[in-house]
Structure 1
C-alpha cells in the first residue's frame, strides 16, 4: 500500500533512496514477506505510542434558558407589521433600548419600513431560531 511513499510526508519515494527528497526523513529498510517497507527510525529512548482516533460525534446544543420569558412569535410578527413604526414589537420582546430607538425615529418612517420587514421575518422563521435569537420561549 504505502510501499513507495514517505511515512513522514506521504510523498512518493524512490525504492533505492535512504532519504526523502521532500522532507529529509531518513528511512530504515525492513524486509517483511518479500516486500520492502520504509519507516522512520525509532530512537531507543522513545517508546512508540498507540494513538486511537475516535470519530467526532455530532452534538446538537440548544442554549435555551428556562428563565427566558414566554412570548408569542405570531404576536411579535403582527405587532411588528402593524405598530413597528413606534417599536411596539421591540418592547414586547424585551428590547427596551431598540424600542426607544424606534420611537425616537418614528417620524422618519424608516422604523415602520423596517418593522414590516422584521414582522415578515418573525413569522417566517422557525421556532428554534426565533427563540435563540430573541432569548424567549414560545407559548
Structure 2
C-alpha cells in the first residue's frame, strides 16, 4: 500500500484519507483510469467580515472604531512641539511620545518632529489614515 505525504505538514497519509490526521489539511482524491491521483482542495480559511459597500465620504480600509483625528493639527504639533513628541501623543502613540520626551534635550526629536509634521501635512488623506490608524473628520 503506497502512502502519500500531506502537502501542509509532510506527514505520511493513507491514500484513501480525506483529511490529514496531524494538521487537519483537507484533500480530495480524484480517480483516473487506473491510478488514484491526489488533488488537493483549496485551503479553508476563516472569512473576514464582509465590509459594507463604500458610501459617499468613506474610504476603503478605514475602520469605524479608529479615533477621529485632524491631520492639520498633527502636522502643526509635529512642526512646533515635535521636540516633546506632542504629535505622537495626539496620534495615540504614547511609547514614541515618551521616547521623544526622554531625548528632547538633544534637539534630535525637534528635527525629526519638524520633518514628520511636514510629511503629515503633505500626505494624502487615505495614506495618513491607514498609516496612523485614525479617521479624519469629514466636513460636509
* TM-score normalized with structure 2 length: 0.56
Q: What is the DSSP-based 3-state SS (H/G/I as helix, E as strand, rest coil) of the residue aligned with 2:117?
A: helix
Matched, 1:133 2:92: no
User: Which position in structure 2 is the counterpart of 1:76?
Assistant: 74
Query: Superposed, which structure 2 residues align to 1:36-75 within 5 Å?
Result: 45=33, 62-75=60-73
Counting only pairs closer than 5 Å after superposition, residues 107-122 of structure 1 correspond to structure 2 as 107-122=105-120
Gapped runs of 5+ residues in structure 1? 1-43, 47-60
Which residue of structure 2 lines up, in the alignment, with residue 12 of structure 1? none
Once residues 102 and 61 of structure 2 are traced to their aligned partners in structure 1, the CA distance between those partners, rounded to angstroms, is: 33
Shift of 1:126: 0.3
Displacement of 1:84 in angstroms is 0.1
* Two-structure CA RMSD over aligned residues (Å): 1.6
The answer for the alignment partner of 1:86 in structure 2 is 84
Structure 2 distance, partners of 1:78, 1:88, is: 10
- Distance in structure 2 (CA, Å) of the matches to 1:135 and 1:62: 13
Displacement of 1:62: 3.1
Query: Deviation per CA, 1:24-44, whole angstroms, max 9, x where unpaired?
Result: xxxxxxxxxxxxxxxxxxxx8
Structure 1 segments of 4 or more deviating over 6 A?
A: none
Aligned equivalents of 1:101, 1:82: Cα separation in 2: 17
Deviation at 1:122, TM superposition (A): 0.2
So what's the TM-score if we normalise by structure 1?
Answer: 0.56
**Whole-angstrom distance in 2 between the partners of 1:87 and 1:137:** 20
Q: Deviations over 1:86-121 (max 9, x none)?
A: 000000000000000000000000000000000000
